[in-house]
């Protein structure tokens, strides 16, 4: 693949812009400037540099974002900035989308990708991909509420009980909840059905993936592929 095609495929602009970056000496291969847009490279495992920043070649991009509060999981946010603004321009150009949504005030692990098939695989209720939430409630958490969440609570728009895959009290006002599906405002509505109210909500894991302790809010990192989330190749 020509070097200009590599840059184009990774979201660095239209072909003329990619060629301009290369002609201007802003692109490196193995730390050495390459100013030939038509230089042939093997994209498999390729890591190139653009203006000093390393960039791995990905046919499909998958990243993990530590979502802070105050951001909407929408391409067209209404009241707050979009989580897209936390990603570098090439990933925004590629059209990455959040895998599911976290509310504006919910923090934690958010996956983003331009792989539509993977989004379906991760969000389909038939796939039973576990998601773990750390909850701070306004009122004290009781064992009766934990039992209700495990047995199943009825939400106003769904006649069938919705059950937590796991639930445990972690403090006087805190609990950990594991869900295998993703309904609108599900965690908040489930806790409300037990007579309590969510004060703070944080997603700590998705599939086999746990939010890294060293990833600060608002920061992101690459994931190698679906196996990083699902634990299978």
Please, which residues bridge with residue 213 across strands? none
**How buried is residue 129: exposed, middle or buried, by Cβ count under 10 Å (0-12/13-18/19+)?**
buried
In sequence order, the 6+-apart residues with CB closer than 8 A to the CB of 184 are none
Residue 38 phi/psi, 5-degree rounding, is -100, 10
Question: Which of 45, 105, 41, 111 is CA-nearest to residue 70?
Answer: 105
Count Cβ atoms below 10 Å from residue 16 Cβ, excluding itself.
11
Q: Are 221 and 215 in contact (CB under 8 A)?
A: yes
Asked about 105 being catalytic, the answer comes back as: no
What single-letter DSSP state applies at residue 141?
Answer: P
Place of tokens 């209700």: 148
Q: Given the residues 36, 42, 103, 158, select the one marked as catalytic.
A: 103
- Classified as helix, coil or strand, 15 is helix
What's the rounded Cα separation, in Å, for the pair 71 and 63? 17
In sequence order, the 6+-apart residues with CB closer than 8 A to the CB of 30 are none
Which residues are tagged catalytic? 103
């Amino acid at each position: 693949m020509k070097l200009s095609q590599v840059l184009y495929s990774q979201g660095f602009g239209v072909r003329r812009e990619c060629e301009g970056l290369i002609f201007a000496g802003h692109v490196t291969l193995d730390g050495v400037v390459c100013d030939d847009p038509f230089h042939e490279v093997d994209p498999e495992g390729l890591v190139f540099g653009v203006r000093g920043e390393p960039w791995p070649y990905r046919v499909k991009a998958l990243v993990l974002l530590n979502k802070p509060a105050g951001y909407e999981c929408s391409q067209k946010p209404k009241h707050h900035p979009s989580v897209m603004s936390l990603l570098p321009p090439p990933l925004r150009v590629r059209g990455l989308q959040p895998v599911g949504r976290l509310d504006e005030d919910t923090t934690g692990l958010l996956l983003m990708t331009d792989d539509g098939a993977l989004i379906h695989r991760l969000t389909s209720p038939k796939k039973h991909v576990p998601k773990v939430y750390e909850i701070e409630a306004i009122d004290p958490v009781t064992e009766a509420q934990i039992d209700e969440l495990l047995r199943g609570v009825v939400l106003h728009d769904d006649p069938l009980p919705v059950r937590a895959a796991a639930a445990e009290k972690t403090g006087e006002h805190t609990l950990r909840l594991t869900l295998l599906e993703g309904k609108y405002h599900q965690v908040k509505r489930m806790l409300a059905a037990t007579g309590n109210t969510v004060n703070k909500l944080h997603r700590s894991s998705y599939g086999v993936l746990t939010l890294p302790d060293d990833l600060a809010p608002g920061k992101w990192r690459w994931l190698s592929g679906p196996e990083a989330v699902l634990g299978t190749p």
